[in-house]
Amino acid sequence: MSLNKIDHVGIAVTDLEKSIELYKSMGFEFQGTEVVEDQKVRTAFFKIGESKIELLAATDPESPIAKFIEKNGNRGGIAHLAIHVSDVQSKLSELKQKGFQLIDEVAKDGAHGTKIAFVHPKSTGGVLLELCEKKEH
Ligand code: ZN
């Protein structure tokens, strides 16, 4: 099961509107916002070459992003690295078999109709890894 490319880098932010303006002013190409109910976040995407930057703001105190920001001294920062895969579920099975600790045993709904799943940083050397599969259009 191949890992195709870096789909996006997820960055936690405390104020989405302010951060959108900040990234726009740096010259990043804004693509719009979307709420992902499953993750309790509001996201903003910026295109950069074949990849994207995903800004993430919590919509609920129980959001993983709210917890990340709390652990990070109440500041934003790089939250996850997302890798594009052609089949999330089979990559999850493969990693599980190899002894990786999965946060999601079953793929969930991500932004833009993607299927996503997270692998625990404890088993990846400290990086929260997101596997990301695009639905066929
Ligand atoms: Zn992401």
Distance 98 CA to ligand 1 centre (A): 23
* pLDDT given for residue 126 in this prediction: 94
* pLDDT given for residue 95 in this prediction: 96
Residues of the domain holding 20: 3-134
* pLDDT given for residue 2 in this prediction: 78
pTM of the full predicted structure?
Answer: 0.91
Q: In angstroms, rounded to a whole number, what is the distance separating the alpha carbons of residues 137 and 134?
A: 9
CATH number at residue 49: 3.10.180.10
Count: domains in the chain: 1
Which of the residues in the chain have pLDDT under 50? 137
Q: Kindly give, in sequence order, each residue whose CB lies less than 8 Å from that of residue 3, ignoring residues fewer than 6 positions away.
A: 83, 84, 85, 91
Distance 54 CA to ligand 1 centre (A): 6
